[in-house]
């Protein structure tokens, strides 16, 4: 009996392939999310930095702390 290279994979081999593919899919999903939200993450970091610079400037001028819009302040 010859060992043909086109034989069907065993159940264990198939289970291992499925497991490997699931890991690869999980990694790809994470990379996709990271790329998709990179711009938002960058904008949030820039805003945080700008807010900190503003607070430092106001403090140096002796003005009271001003809460950024949407962070718990009521404007009416």
Residue 34 belongs to some domain of the structure: yes
Are the C-beta atoms of 28 and 20 separated by less than 8 Å? Answer: no
Residue 55 belongs to some domain of the structure: yes
Residue 46 belongs to some domain of the structure: yes
Provide the domain count of the chain.
1
Residue 33 belongs to some domain of the structure: yes
pLDDT in tens, 17-48: 999 999 999 999 999 999 999 999 999 999 99
Q: Which two tokens stand for residue 16?
A: 């291992």
CA distances from 26 to 8, 33, 37, 47, 71 (A): 26, 11, 17, 31, 34
Q: Residue 10's pLDDT band (boundaries 50, 70, 90)?
A: very high
Residue 64 φ/ψ region, left for φ over 0, alpha for ψ in the -120 to 50 degree band, beta for the rest: beta
7-16, 23-32, 54-63, 65-74: least confident range: 65-74
Residue 37 belongs to some domain of the structure: yes
Residue 6 belongs to some domain of the structure: no
Residue 72 belongs to some domain of the structure: no
Parent domain of 42: 28-59
């Amino acid at each position: 009996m010859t060992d043909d290279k086109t034989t069907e994979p065993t159940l264990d081999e198939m289970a291992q392939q499925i497991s490997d593919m699931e890991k690869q899919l999980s990694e790809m999903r994470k990379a996709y999310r990271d790329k998709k939200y990179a711009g938002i993450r960058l904008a949030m970091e820039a805003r945080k930095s700008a807010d900190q610079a503003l607070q430092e400037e106001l403090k140096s001028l002796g003005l009271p702390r001003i809460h950024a819009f949407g962070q718990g302040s009521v404007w009416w």
